[in-house]
């Protein structure tokens, strides 16, 4: 791929951004956004000609890589055929996308309700669960992120929830996290048993007859790539069955090859009632999301009106991009590639980095979905940055990565290693080599 620098155009893009664009999650005045000129595969570049290996997949969504030609072509072809149509009409691309998703999601799943993204998919999944059960409370984990709309942000556990708590009837609980166990567990088995006992106690004290849904990221994403210990999701399924609660699996970040399976929950033997999906289904080439609905819940609305809808539900361009993305993933073995890269390159490589760099307290992940829990002391597990904040060490780590041509994803005291699912062994090893050099620059922050 050739990169032709154009600093003058880059300066113009930066100036226009600062004058006209309002950015999310930010105080606007101090922002200095990177201005992106183009992208291809696992790389993107700026107007100065600096090229970056994308170990962030942007927002952990470019699963199929940047500018995949089959997906780009499908969007172009659909635009020439039918660019948009109101959602009350049937259109072929939406049908094809729904069929493919249902085929992947499990035998109990019946229909797909399309949305514009993950947050409004969460909103509608919660609505479906409440209406189906006639129960109003929603349980979710403290370590979670579910989106920035009314119910989704209150279901979220991280600090972005705090200034946005307007939705009602949400209750939080602690999910499993053995490295920083809330339950004094020392083994995965103990963590599963005690986390499930805690959840059952929350259900009992909140009142089972008031709880309509439990929403959980199958593998927790932004809050730390927390892989559930063996038996946890199966135990969650059993608790939902016992108390008549709907399990909503949020697969916005973990779905569509990210963990080496089509959906992350498929790494275990439990099946949810509702599945939220979004950006991973088409790598974000066109905004899209949706809810995969079990046959039982879908039947609730055969004669009863579902009180929800979106102008762009099942938008033809978005649907066509999903079809092309799923087909390309199948044809090119991208799900298997993600699994192989995780098992043979990223997992071993990151564990080797942890042996060398004491600031890496724990390595965890699946497929191309990994996180490094960074500490200043391995004995006390003191985080390298405080909850809800950053630190000089984390800032230095980001700068060291960017200076070497790698785009990281960091959150609080964690570095997430989340490249596209199409990454090659050579590219993954190149990224690991950059991380090795970057961590060498911050080893001095270790105080243990």
Please report, for the domain that includes residue 160, its CATH number: 3.40.640.10
Task: Write down the pLDDT at residue 2.
Answer: 72
Q: What total of structural domains would you count in the chain? A: 2
Judge contact between 329 and 338, C-beta under 8 A: no
Q: Do 438 and 310 reside in the same domain of the chain?
A: no
Tell me which of 331, 362, 395 is where a domain ends.
Answer: 331
Residue 373: CB atoms within 10 A of its CB come to: 24
Q: What angle do CA 164, 412, 425 make, to 5 degrees?
A: 120
Q: Do 379 and 425 reside in the same domain of the chain?
A: yes
Cα separation, 168 vs 264, in Å, equals: 29
Q: Do 436 and 324 reside in the same domain of the chain?
A: no
Q: Do 375 and 428 reside in the same domain of the chain?
A: yes
1 part of a folded domain: no
Q: Do 311 and 411 reside in the same domain of the chain?
A: no
Q: What angle do CA 96, 101, 313 make, to 5 degrees?
A: 65
Q: Do 176 and 223 reside in the same domain of the chain?
A: yes
Judge contact between 255 and 232, C-beta under 8 A: no
Cα separation, 83 vs 402, in Å, equals: 38
368 part of a folded domain: yes
Cα separation, 268 vs 229, in Å, equals: 10
130 part of a folded domain: yes
Q: Do 360 and 390 reside in the same domain of the chain?
A: yes
**Per-residue model confidence as pLDDT tens for the chain (448 residues):** 678 999 999 999 999 999 999 999 999 999 999 999 999 999 999 999 999 999 999 999 999 999 999 999 999 999 999 999 999 999 999 999 999 999 999 999 999 999 999 999 999 999 999 999 999 999 999 999 999 999 999 999 999 999 999 999 999 999 999 999 999 999 999 999 999 999 999 999 999 999 999 999 999 999 999 999 999 999 999 999 999 999 999 999 999 999 999 999 999 999 999 999 999 999 999 999 999 999 999 999 999 999 999 999 999 999 999 999 999 999 999 999 999 999 999 999 999 999 999 999 999 999 999 999 999 999 999 999 999 999 999 999 999 999 999 999 999 999 999 999 999 999 999 999 999 999 999 999 999 8
Give the ranges where 3-161 is alpha helix by DSSP (H). Answer: 7-20, 57-60, 69-81, 92-105, 118-133, 150-155
Task: Write down the pLDDT at residue 448.
Answer: 81
Cα separation, 332 vs 387, in Å, equals: 40
Give one DSSP letter per residue of 92-129, joined into a string.
Answer: HHHHHHHHHHHHHH-TTEEEEEEESSHHHHHHHHHHHH
2 part of a folded domain: no
The CATH number of the domain where 392 resides is what?
3.90.1150.10
Q: Do 299 and 373 reside in the same domain of the chain?
A: no
Q: Do 152 and 247 reside in the same domain of the chain?
A: yes
Q: Do 345 and 217 reside in the same domain of the chain?
A: no
Q: Do 29 and 150 reside in the same domain of the chain?
A: no
CA nearest to 341, candidates 416, 431, 259, 425: 425
Tell me which of 278, 311, 331 is where a domain ends.
Answer: 331
User: Domain range for residue 23?
Assistant: 7-67+333-445
Q: Do 270 and 340 reside in the same domain of the chain?
A: no
Residue 416, class by beta-carbon neighbours within 10 Å (0-12 exposed, 13-18 middle, 19+ buried)?
A: buried
Phi first, then psi: what are they for 205, rounded to 5°? Answer: -80, -25
């Amino acid at each position: 791929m050739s990169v032709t620098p154009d600093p003058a155009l880059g300066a113009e893009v930066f100036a226009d951004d600062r004058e006209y664009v309002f950015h999310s999650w930010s105080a606007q005045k101090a922002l200095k956004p990177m201005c992106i000129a183009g992208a291809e595969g696992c790389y993107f570049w700026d107007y100065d000609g600096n090229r970056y290996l994308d170990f962030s997949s942007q927002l952990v969504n470019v699963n199929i890589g940047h500018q995949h030609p089959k997906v780009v072509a499908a969007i172009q072809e659909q635009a020439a055929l039918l660019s948009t149509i109101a959602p009350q009409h049937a259109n072929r691309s939406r049908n094809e996308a729904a069929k493919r998703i249902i085929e992947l999601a499990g035998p109990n799943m019946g229909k797909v309700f399309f949305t514009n993204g993950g947050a409004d998919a969460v909103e509608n999944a919660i609505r479906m669960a409440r209406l189906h059960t006639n129960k109003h409370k929603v349980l979710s984990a403290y370590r979670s992120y579910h989106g920035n709309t009314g119910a989704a942000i209150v279901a979220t556990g991280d600090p972005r929830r705090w200034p946005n708590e307007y939705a009602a009837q949400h209750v939080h609980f602690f999910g499993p996290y053995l490295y920083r166990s809330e339950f004094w567990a020392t083994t995965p088995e103990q963590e599963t048993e005690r986390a499930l006992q805690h959840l059952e106690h929350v259900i009992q004290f909140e009142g089972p007859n008031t709880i309509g849904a439990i929403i959980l990221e199958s593998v927790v994403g932004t809050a730390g790539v927390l892989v559930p210990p063996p038996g946890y999701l199966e135990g969650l399924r059993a608790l939902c069955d016992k108390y008549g609660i709907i399990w909503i699996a949020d697969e916005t970040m973990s779905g569509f090859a990210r963990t080496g399976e089509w959906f992350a929950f498929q790494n275990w033997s439990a099946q949810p009632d509702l599945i939220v999906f979004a950006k991973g289904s088409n790598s974000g080439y066109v905004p899209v999301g949706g809810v995969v609905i079990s046959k039982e819940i879908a039947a609730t609305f055969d004669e009863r009106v579902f009180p929800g809808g979106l102008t762009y539900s099942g938008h033809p361009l978005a649907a066509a991009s999903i079809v092309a993305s799923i087909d390309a993933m199948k044809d090119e073995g991208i799900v298997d590639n993600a699994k192989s890269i995780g098992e043979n390159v990223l997992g071993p490589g990151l564990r080797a980095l942890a042996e060398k760099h004491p600031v890496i307290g724990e390595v965890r992940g699946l497929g191309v979905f990994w996180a490094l829990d960074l500490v200043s002391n391995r004995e006390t597990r003191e985080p390298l940055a405080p909850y809800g904040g950053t630190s000089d060490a984390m800032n230095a780590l980001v700068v060291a990565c960017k200076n070497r041509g790698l785009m990281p994803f960091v959150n609080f005291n964690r570095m997430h290693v989340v490249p596209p699912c199409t990454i090659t062994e050579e590219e993954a090893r190149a990224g690991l080599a950059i991380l090795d050099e970057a961590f060498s620059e911050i080893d001095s922050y270790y105080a243990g």
